[in-house]
Structure 1
Amino acid sequence: MRIYQAGPLFSEAERLWHRELRSQLVHAGYLVTWPYELCSSQEIKVWGETAPKKIMEICHKALDLCDVVVALLDGTQVDDGTAWEIGYAYARGKDVVGIRTDFRQAGDTRYSVVNAMIEGSCQAIVRDVDALLHVLRGY
Structure 2
Amino acid sequence: MHIYFANGLFSQADFRFNAKLAAAIRATYPQLTIYLPQENAAINDKQAYADSKMIAHADTEEVLKSDLMIAVLDGPVIDAGVASEIGVAYAKEIPILGLYTDSRQQGADNQQKLTALQTIAENQFHYLNLYTTGLIKLNGAIYSNETDLIKAIATYQ
- Is TM > 0.5 for Structure 1 vs Structure 2? yes
Asked if 1:57 is matched to 2:93, the reply is: no
Q: How far apart in 2 are the matches of 1:104 and 1:67?
A: 31
Post-superposition offset of 1:8: 0.3
Asked if 1:120 is matched to 2:103, the reply is: no
Q: How far apart in 2 are the matches of 1:74 and 1:132?
A: 14
Kept in 2, the 8 Å contact 1:113–1:119? The answer is no
Cα deviation, 1:105-134, whole Å, max 9, x if unaligned, reads 5xxxxx996211111111111011101012
Q: How many residues align?
A: 131
Post-superposition offset of 1:76: 2.1
Q: How far apart in 1 are the matches of 2:41 and 2:54?
A: 10
Q: Unaligned regions of 5+ residues in structure 2, if any?
A: 106-124
SS in 2 for 1:8: coil
Which residue of the partner structure matches residue 31 of structure 1?
A: 33
Post-superposition offset of 1:65: 1.1
Asked if 1:18 is matched to 2:18, the reply is: yes
SS in 1 for 2:41: coil
- Which structure has the bigger radius of gyration? 2
Structure 1 residues 42 and 125: alpha-carbon distance in aligned structure 2, compared to 1, 3 A threshold: closer
TM normalised by structure 1 equals: 0.86
Q: Unaligned regions of 5+ residues in structure 1, if any?
A: 106-110
TM normalised by structure 2 equals: 0.76
Aligned-pair Cα RMSD in Å? 2.1
Give 1:15's aligned amino acid.
F
Q: How far apart in 1 are the matches of 2:37 and 2:89?
A: 14
